[in-house]
Amino acid sequence: MPSSKKTIVFISNESKLFGAPKILLDIIKYFHSTEKYNIIVVCPAEGPFKTILDRVGIQTLIPDCLRDYYLHISQPSNFFIHILQRIYDNFRLLFYFYRLIRDYSNPILYANTSVVRYIALPKLITRTSLLWHVHEYFENPLKQKFHSVLIGYCTNKIIIHSTILNSRLGLSKRAQAKVFSLRYLLTLDPKSYYLIKSDRPCYDLMFAGRISLEKGVLDLLKAIKSYLKIRDKIKVLIIGLFVEKDKQIILDYVANNKLDKYITFHDFDPEIYQYILNAKAVVLPSHRESFGLILLEAVMLDKPVIATDVGDVRSVVTPGLNGILISPRNIEQLENAISQMLDENVYKRYLAGVKQKKKEILSDKSSYRELEDVVDLLIKKTPNLN
């Protein structure tokens, strides 16, 4: 039944709980807590993202057309079949979102990351207000140009978390006027970080995210192998979900190089903060990364980091202060960074630096209340209000 409250439809491209979906979940929970809006969430599959929404009583939809869209993207097929699938999937998505928008009397749409590709046309047809939360840019300049034009033309507000990301998007002057700056707020209130207790095993290094080649997990294993030629011990936790096509490559490397006693794999756990708390440092050797939320969480728990100098990582990691930045795919640099970080004297210096970095991050005054003001202004301008 339609509600007397204005509806916000949040659309996620994932049902996992790392990075962009984790930020989106926090925003959804904030808007839900105000009790001012009717909240609907659309996502492509079951998963921890939906589980938490169900637990707090937020309505979540998993349309077959969206599930199929992401399934077809992930499955290999010949070019001709792939094109036909994409055309068919996009027609189904257009019809689905057109009906959803009409059912809820022109809701406010909140699209996360690549969702803008298939929500743009329904938005234009229905003249609905659309906020697009940008989490990443594309290395391919043609692909990025297409997205910049699309979001600039179709969206009412563009939410960006840093000046670095903004500069790399290549938005037009007209689109820049729509930009709303919202630093990534934390999935816990900053004060709550001091209340976390942990009885988890202790590790020297911790990685969290998709366990894949693109995230640099194999690079990390190779660096650990080199590290062990000089030193005889290290304990590393790798926590997350395997990307299926990379799983056997990664596990075979561990087995073939007898790294089993040094590496612990763990499924995704929403209580990730407890694992960060018991690690000396967090490592994120991604080949491509939009931001790396785990790095921000590490800072809030006073942990230094090792990360690749990609994407928007420098907005949270200052080299030499709270972490070490290396080039992607550079095993030698990664091994040297691990050796430095695990040197007791060097580590103490980074511990002091991370406290300085945390103070800088917490001085940021942006808040979800400001985002709420943006939404309320769009509601006033949106036609066909209830």
Q: Which domains does the chain have, with CATH numbers?
A: 6-185+366-381 (3.40.50.2000), 191-362 (3.40.50.2000)
**pTM to 2 decimals?**
0.81
Structure confidence at residue 71 (pLDDT): 85
pLDDT at position 232: 84
Please give the pLDDT value at position 284.
Answer: 96
Name the residue among 357, 230, 251, 203 with its Cα closest to residue 295: 357
| Residue 366 burial class via C-beta count within 10 angstroms: exposed 0-12, middle 13-18, buried 19 and up | middle
Task: Give the per-residue pLDDT at 1.
Answer: 43
313-319 long-range CB contacts below 8 Å, 24 or more apart?
Answer: 313/284, 313/289, 314/164, 315/161, 315/162, 315/163, 315/164, 315/165, 315/291, 316/291, 316/292, 316/357, 316/361, 317/357, 318/353, 318/357
pLDDT of 3 reads: 52
Q: What pLDDT score was predicted for residue 190? A: 66
Closest of 4, 2, 24 to residue 15, by C-alpha: 24
pLDDT of the chain along its 386 residues, tens only?
445 689 999 999 888 887 788 889 989 999 999 999 999 999 999 988 999 999 999 999 999 999 999 888 777 777 788 888 889 999 999 999 999 999 988 899 999 878 888 899 999 999 899 999 988 877 788 888 888 888 888 999 999 888 888 888 888 999 999 999 887 766 666 667 667 777 777 999 999 988 999 999 999 999 999 999 988 899 999 999 898 899 999 999 999 999 999 999 999 887 788 899 999 999 999 998 777 789 989 998 999 999 999 888 888 899 999 999 999 999 999 999 999 999 999 999 999 999 999 988 887 767 888 999 999 999 887 765 44
Distance CA 300, CA 186 (A): 9
pLDDT at 7: 93
- pLDDT for the residue numbered 186: 65
Maximum separation of any 2 CA atoms in the chain, in Å: 69
How far is the C-alpha of 220 from the C-alpha of 236, rounded, in Å?
Answer: 10
Confidence (pLDDT) at 312: 80
* pLDDT at residue 156, as a whole number: 93
Of 167, 137, 134, 172, the C-alpha closest to 152 is 172
Buried/exposed code over 120-150 (b: 16+ C-beta within 10 A; e: otherwise) = bebbeebebbbbbbbbbbbeeeeebeebbee
